[in-house]
Structure 1
Amino acid sequence: MEELIGTQRPARRILDPDEAIAVLERVVPGLVTLRRQNPAVFDWRAVEEEAGSALPSDFTSLAEWYPAFGLDDFLGVMLPWPGEEAVRVEAADTPSERWHSDYPADLRPAELTSTTLIPWGDSAEGDQFFWSVLGDDPEHWPVTVCSRNGPWWHYEGGMVQFLAELCAGALEPWALPPVKPEITGWAVEGGGWRQTA
C-alpha cells in the first residue's frame, strides 16, 4: 500500500479560469508564445461523454488557448487537440478508458481506493497527476499527485493554479523535484511534438 502524505492548500483557490491562466502566464512567461490567436473550438460534450463527467473549466479554457506542453523537461500537461475528440472516443475500447486511471486500488492509499482518478499530466520520471473526482462539482476537485517514489498527496486548488504554484516554488514539491518555469516542448498539429532548442 502506498502512502498519502498530506494535503497542501492555496492561500485562495482561484475559481475563475481566465484568472488562473493569467497567473500561470505570469509565472511561466514563455507560455504566452504558444497561445493561440483565437480559442480553439472543441466538442466538449464528446470529451465529457468519454470522461464520464464534466471537466474543470480551468482545464477546458487552457486547452482552448494552448496545445499540450512540457515544463522543464519534466512535467507534461496533457491537453486534447481540437477536432480529435471523436477519434479519441472511437479509439477507446470502453467509454472513458482514456480518461480514467488504471491505477489498481491496492496500489493506492486506503483513502483513495474508491476514488475515481482522471489523469491530466505525467512526468518524464513516471510521476502522475490526476484530479480526484470527489463530488459532482469539477471546479472543486483536488489535484492528486502520485510520485514514482510512492508517496501520494493532494493539492486543494485547480490544475492550472497547481502548475503556477509548483513552477513559482510556492508549493512544497513533496517527492517531486523543483520544476523551473520553462516551456521545453509542445504539441503541434498532426500529433507531433516540438522541443525547444
Structure 2
Amino acid sequence: MDDFIGTQEPFRRLHGAVAVVEELERAVPGLASRRRPAPAGINWAAIEADLGAGLPDDYTLLCELFPTFILDDFLLVGGPQPGVESAWVQRTLEELKIVTEWCADADLTVPLQPYPTVGGLLPWAASNEGDIFLWKTVPADPQAWTVTIASRNGGWWHYTGGAVQFLADLVSGAVEPWELPRVCPEVSWLMEASA
C-alpha cells in the first residue's frame, strides 16, 4: 500500500513575503495584533551558513514579525530567535533524524529523502500530535519550495504553495486537511522561543 495521499494546489500561488504574511493575518484575525513592534533581528546569514541553505522569504519574514505561536492548540509555528540561531539550527538538524526514520518507513512509490540530500525534506513546523510539516528543498531557489506533510498516521501529501500560504489555506479551509484535524483560525498560545 502506498502511503502517498495526493497533492493539493493553492487556488493561486502567492508571491512576495509581505503578501503571503498578510494573507495569513487575514486568515487568522488575531494574529496581526500580535506582531512584534520591530523585526526580531535574526541572523539569517549565520543560519544559512550553519544549515547550508537559505530559507524562504515568507518564513523568514514570519519569524521576524511574530514570536513562536500555536494555531488552535495544534500546530506549532516558530523559528529561530536572535542570539540563539545556532541552537535552532542544531534542533532542526536533530529533527532530521525523525524525518530520516519516517522516510525510511514510508511506503511511497517515489521515495522521499531528508535534507541535506538534494531535494530532501527540511522540517519547518510540527503539530502537538506528531505530524511534521516540511519543505521539499527543490528547486535551488527557496522561494519556490513547496510543502510536504508527514502525518503521524503514516500518510504523506504535498501542497504546491509555500509554508506561510499553506498555513493560511489550512485555517481558511482552502486546502483539505488530509489526515489532519480541522484547524481553527485562532492563535491559542504565543511565546518567545528560547534556546
Fold conserved between structures, TM > 0.5: yes
Q: Does 1:106 find its partner at 2:104?
A: yes
Distance 1:177 1:36, change over 3 A: same
Equivalent of 1:97 in 93, 97, 118: 93
**Distance in 1 between residues matched to 2:86 and 2:112, nearest whole Å:** 31
Paired residues of 2:121 and 2:134 also in contact (CA < 8 A): yes
**Distance in 2 between residues matched to 1:2 and 1:60, nearest whole Å:** 34
State the 1:102 CA deviation: 3.5
Task: Show the counterpart of 1:61.
Answer: 61
Any unmatched runs of 5+ in structure 1? Answer: 193-197
Task: Show the counterpart of 1:22.
Answer: 22
Paired residues of 2:27 and 2:171 also in contact (CA < 8 A): yes
Paired residues of 1:128 and 1:147 also in contact (CA < 8 A): yes
SS in 1 for 2:59: helix
Distance 1:5 1:87, change over 3 A: closer
Q: Does 1:44 find its partner at 2:44?
A: yes
Runs of 4+ in 1 over 3 A off after TM superposition: 86-89, 98-102
Q: Give the partner amino acid of 2:60.
A: T
Paired residues of 2:69 and 2:78 also in contact (CA < 8 A): yes
Under a length normalisation based on structure 2, what TM-score does the superposition of the two structures give?
0.88
Task: Show the counterpart of 1:125.
Answer: 129
**Distance in 2 between residues matched to 1:152 and 1:173, nearest whole Å:** 12
Deviations 1:111-132 (A, max 9, x none): 2433411111111111110001
Q: Give the partner amino acid of 1:51.
A: L
Paired residues of 1:4 and 1:153 also in contact (CA < 8 A): yes
**Distance in 1 between residues matched to 2:173 and 2:97, nearest whole Å:** 28
Q: Give the partner amino acid of 1:135.
A: P
Give the % identical residues: 44
Q: Does 1:80 find its partner at 2:84?
A: no
Q: 1:127-166, aligned counterparts within 5 Å?
A: 127-166=131-170
Distance 1:165 1:143, change over 3 A: same
In angstroms, what is the RMSD of aligned CA positions? 2.1
State the 1:52 CA deviation: 1.5
Distance 1:101 1:144, change over 3 A: farther
**Distance in 2 between residues matched to 1:169 and 1:88, nearest whole Å:** 31
State the 1:32 CA deviation: 1.4
State the 1:78 CA deviation: 2.5
SS in 2 for 1:97: helix
**Distance in 2 between residues matched to 1:183 and 1:38, nearest whole Å:** 20
Under a length normalisation based on structure 1, what TM-score does the superposition of the two structures give?
0.87
State the 1:99 CA deviation: 6.5
Distance 1:101 1:164, change over 3 A: farther
